[in-house]
Amino acid sequence: MAKVVVALGGNALGKSPEEQLKLVKNTASSLIGLIQAGNQVVISHGNGPQVGQINLGMDFAAQNGKTAAFPFPECGAMSQGYIGYHLQQSLQNELHQRGMEKDVVTTVTQVVVDPGDPAFENPTKPVGDFYTKEQAAQIEQEKGYTFVEDAGRGYRQVVPSPLPKRIVELNSIETLIENGTLVIAAGGGGVPVVEEGGALTGVPAVIDKDRSSALLADNVDADQLIILTAVDYVYINYNQPDEQKLTELSQAQAQELIDAGQFPAGSMLPKIQACLSFVKGHPERKAIITSLAGLDQALEGKLGTVIHG
């Protein structure tokens, strides 16, 4: 029996609640397949598009006098709730159809970050929808947000992305796993909080979900970390005429490609770095990066990029 942490990318979950629910239903059978094979499975997910949409919507409503202003950490908690709801529902339905008895629980997860993290002075984490250069410039002028071009797909708002240091609810998550519960945790990288005088306080940022997923996988001593995103493989020279897919990477090869600037900071780079942090010093561990749609084939070794410990 293996312990597996599966991280679903926020971009791979669609652009609307309706699209997200459809996509989550399509992947539920593969996730349940992991459980039927005798594995302990923990699910995490991104929230970049979703938290950005919630933040913009709440900001618009506040500016028009429809509601009070909503802090960014609360928007992150909202995204954990509704994405977790969709995942829970789809997984519960799939379990029921297969005659399996298993509880499914979403934990609204807080993750401690360092208030002195330099990321707070250099926002890099894309959130929300894609915009044209002109649309992004207009929103920047109106709201003071920061936008960057994102891997040739358009312009997106960026927010600070501090490194995760500690998962607050880790003991509860481990207890649930040990009791056979299918756990959804560290959604959107977790709600970022800082410790001040022994108390926790939320901060306006989005922790990269791959980094938090790797921390979670390491803390629960998982055997595998599977990062699901919008592409089947990790590529070098991505979106270029000489684009090349990578099926396997050693730690040394991955670091060489990082040093060569092959992976965008707001896209594939944190995924590679998360995988490296998970497998480092653990030759028995394995990390896989592939698409949501390709999960079944990846589990059979027919798709995806494998990073070895």
Confirm whether 8 is domain-assigned. Answer: yes
Q: Which of 11, 46, 84, 128 is catalytic?
A: 11
Contact 6, 43 (CB under 8 A): yes
Catalytic, out of 52, 84, 187, 209 = 209
Active-site residue, selected from the candidate residues 10, 14, 48, 187: 10
Q: Within a domain: residue 42?
A: yes
Q: Is residue 242 part of a domain?
A: yes
Mean pLDDT of 59-77: 77
Q: Helix-strand-coil percent breakdown of the chain, rounded to 5?
A: 40, 25, 35
Torsion angle (degrees, nearest 10) of CA 87, 98, 30, 130: -30
Question: Is residue 72 pLDDT above 70, yes or no?
Answer: yes
Is 130 within the bounds of a domain? no
Q: Which pLDDT band, with edges at 50, 70 and 90, does 95 fall under?
A: very high
| 175 phi-psi bin (left φ>0, alpha ψ -120 to 50, beta other) | alpha
Q: What CATH number has the domain bearing residue 53?
A: 3.40.1160.10
124 found inside a domain: no
Specify whether 209 is catalytic.
Answer: yes
Q: Tell me what pLDDT residue 12 has.
A: 65
Q: Where are the alpha helices (DSSP H) in the chain?
A: 17-36, 48-63, 72-97, 133-143, 170-178, 209-219, 251-259, 269-279, 295-299
- pLDDT band at 113, cuts 50/70/90? very high
> Per the confidence metrics, is the pTM higher than 0.85?
yes
Instruction: Provide the β-strand partners of residue 123.
Output: none
> Is residue 122 one of the residues assigned to a domain?
no
Judge whether 22 counts as a catalytic residue.
no
Gyration radius of the chain over CA positions: 19
Mean pLDDT lowest for which of 27-36, 61-70, 210-219? 61-70
φ, ψ (nearest 5 deg) of residue 192: -70, 130
Residue-level pLDDT at 59: 72
Question: What residues contact 206, with CB distance under 8 A and at least 6 apart?
Answer: 47, 48, 51, 76, 125, 127, 159, 160, 161, 188, 189, 192
What integer pLDDT is reported at residue 145 of this predicted model? 81
Structure confidence at residue 265 (pLDDT): 75
List the catalytic residue out of 46, 187, 188, 271: 271
Considering its fold, how many domains does the chain have in total? 1
What tokens appear for 119 in the block? 């990321």
Pairing of strands 146-149, 155-159: antiparallel
Q: CA 83 to CA 76: how far, in whole Å?
A: 11
Catalytic (active site) residue 11? yes
For residue 218, which amino acid is it? D
Q: What is the pLDDT of residue 126?
A: 78
261 is catalytic: no
Range of the structural domain that residue 258 is part of: 3-113+165-308
User: Could you tell me if residue 142 is inside a domain?
Assistant: no
Catalytic residue among 14, 55, 125, 188: 125
The whole-angstrom separation of Cα 48 and Cα 126 is: 6
134 found inside a domain: no
Pairwise CA distance, residues 253 & 92, whole Å: 40
Residue 271 is among the residues annotated as catalytic for this protein: yes
**Six token digits for residue 257:** 């490609």
Task: Identify the CA nearest to 31 among candidates 5, 9, 54.
Answer: 5
- Percent of the chain exceeding pLDDT 70 equals 96
Query: In terms of pLDDT, which residue wins out, 237 or 30?
Result: 237
**CA geometry: angle 23, 27, 32, nearest 5 deg:** 150
